[in-house]
Protein backbone atom coordinates (compact mmCIF):
# COMPACT_ATOMS: atom_id res chain seq x y z
CA UNK A 1 0.00 0.00 0.00
CA UNK A 2 1.28 3.43 -0.84
CA UNK A 3 0.77 6.50 1.33
CA UNK A 4 -2.28 7.68 -0.65
CA UNK A 5 -4.13 4.40 -0.16
CA UNK A 6 -3.37 4.54 3.57
CA UNK A 7 -4.60 8.15 3.72
CA UNK A 8 -7.85 7.17 1.99
CA UNK A 9 -8.38 4.29 4.44
CA UNK A 10 -7.72 6.58 7.42
CA UNK A 11 -10.14 9.16 6.01
CA UNK A 12 -12.88 6.57 5.45
CA UNK A 13 -12.41 5.10 8.92
CA UNK A 14 -12.46 8.54 10.55
CA UNK A 15 -15.58 9.54 8.62
CA UNK A 16 -17.41 6.33 9.59
CA UNK A 17 -16.40 6.49 13.25
CA UNK A 18 -17.20 10.20 13.45
CA UNK A 19 -20.65 9.65 11.96
CA UNK A 20 -21.40 6.80 14.36
CA UNK A 21 -20.17 8.80 17.35
CA UNK A 22 -22.24 11.88 16.53
CA UNK A 23 -25.32 9.80 15.73
CA UNK A 24 -25.30 8.13 19.15
CA UNK A 25 -24.87 11.28 21.26
CA UNK A 26 -27.83 12.08 23.47
CA UNK A 27 -29.56 15.42 22.87
CA UNK A 28 -28.49 16.56 26.36
CA UNK A 29 -24.82 16.41 25.32
CA UNK A 30 -25.34 18.08 21.96
CA UNK A 31 -24.38 21.62 23.03
CA UNK A 32 -21.02 20.71 24.64
CA UNK A 33 -20.23 18.49 21.66
CA UNK A 34 -21.00 21.33 19.24
CA UNK A 35 -18.68 23.61 21.21
CA UNK A 36 -15.90 21.05 20.87
CA UNK A 37 -16.45 20.57 17.14
CA UNK A 38 -16.49 24.35 16.66
CA UNK A 39 -13.07 24.54 18.32
CA UNK A 40 -11.76 21.75 16.08
CA UNK A 41 -13.15 23.49 12.99
CA UNK A 42 -11.50 26.72 14.06
CA UNK A 43 -8.17 24.87 14.17
CA UNK A 44 -8.93 23.50 10.70
CA UNK A 45 -9.52 27.06 9.43
CA UNK A 46 -6.11 28.15 10.70
CA UNK A 47 -4.42 25.09 9.18
CA UNK A 48 -6.17 25.60 5.84
CA UNK A 49 -5.13 29.27 5.78
CA UNK A 50 -1.51 28.28 6.42
CA UNK A 51 -1.59 25.67 3.64
CA UNK A 52 -3.32 28.00 1.18
CA UNK A 53 -0.89 30.84 1.85
CA UNK A 54 2.28 28.76 1.60
CA UNK A 55 4.88 30.27 -0.69
CA UNK A 56 5.58 27.10 -2.66
CA UNK A 57 1.99 25.77 -2.79
CA UNK A 58 0.74 24.44 -6.10
CA UNK A 59 -2.52 25.52 -7.72
CA UNK A 60 -4.14 22.24 -6.65
CA UNK A 61 -3.02 22.77 -3.04
CA UNK A 62 -4.29 26.34 -3.03
CA UNK A 63 -7.63 25.22 -4.44
CA UNK A 64 -8.05 22.49 -1.83
CA UNK A 65 -6.93 24.92 0.87
CA UNK A 66 -9.51 27.47 -0.24
CA UNK A 67 -12.25 24.83 -0.20
CA UNK A 68 -11.13 23.78 3.29
CA UNK A 69 -11.21 27.39 4.53
CA UNK A 70 -14.72 27.93 3.17
CA UNK A 71 -16.08 24.60 4.46
CA UNK A 72 -14.55 25.00 7.93
CA UNK A 73 -15.75 28.60 8.23
CA UNK A 74 -19.29 27.61 7.28
CA UNK A 75 -19.10 24.79 9.82
CA UNK A 76 -17.93 27.12 12.61
CA UNK A 77 -20.53 29.80 11.92
CA UNK A 78 -23.43 27.38 11.56
CA UNK A 79 -22.32 25.47 14.66
CA UNK A 80 -22.39 28.63 16.75
CA UNK A 81 -25.79 29.60 15.36
CA UNK A 82 -27.23 26.17 16.14
CA UNK A 83 -25.70 26.17 19.63
CA UNK A 84 -27.10 29.63 20.33
CA UNK A 85 -30.54 28.54 19.17
CA UNK A 86 -30.44 25.44 21.36
CA UNK A 87 -29.38 27.46 24.41
CA UNK A 88 -32.27 29.87 23.82
CA UNK A 89 -34.65 26.90 24.00
CA UNK A 90 -33.60 26.29 27.63
CA UNK A 91 -34.19 29.87 28.80
CA UNK A 92 -37.37 30.69 30.61
CA UNK A 93 -39.75 32.87 28.64
CA UNK A 94 -40.10 35.48 31.41
CA UNK A 95 -36.33 35.91 31.87
CA UNK A 96 -35.74 37.66 28.53
CA UNK A 97 -34.60 41.27 28.85
CA UNK A 98 -35.55 43.86 26.27
The full set of domain ranges for the chain reads 27-91
Angstrom distance (rounded) from CA 74 to CA 65 = 14
Is the model's pLDDT at 72 over the cut of 70? yes
- CB of 33 closer than 8 Å to CB of 25: yes
* Residue partners of 35: CB distance under 8 A and separation at least 6: 83
pLDDT at site 59: 92
- Dihedral (C-alpha) 8, 13, 15, 16: value to the nearest 10 degrees? 140
Give the pLDDT band of residue 47 (cuts 50, 70, 90): confident
Q: Each residue of 81-93: pLDDT tens digit?
A: 877 787 787 777 7
**Do 66 and 24 form a contact (C-beta atoms < 8 A)?**
no
Number of CB atoms found within 10 A of residue 41's CB:
19
Query: Mean per-residue pLDDT for 20-31?
Result: 70
Residue 8 reports pLDDT greater than 70: yes
Q: What is the pLDDT averaged over residues 3-17?
A: 82
Amino acid sequence: MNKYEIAIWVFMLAAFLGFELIRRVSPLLHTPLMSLTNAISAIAVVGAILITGAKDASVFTRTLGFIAVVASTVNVVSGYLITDRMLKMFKKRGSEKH
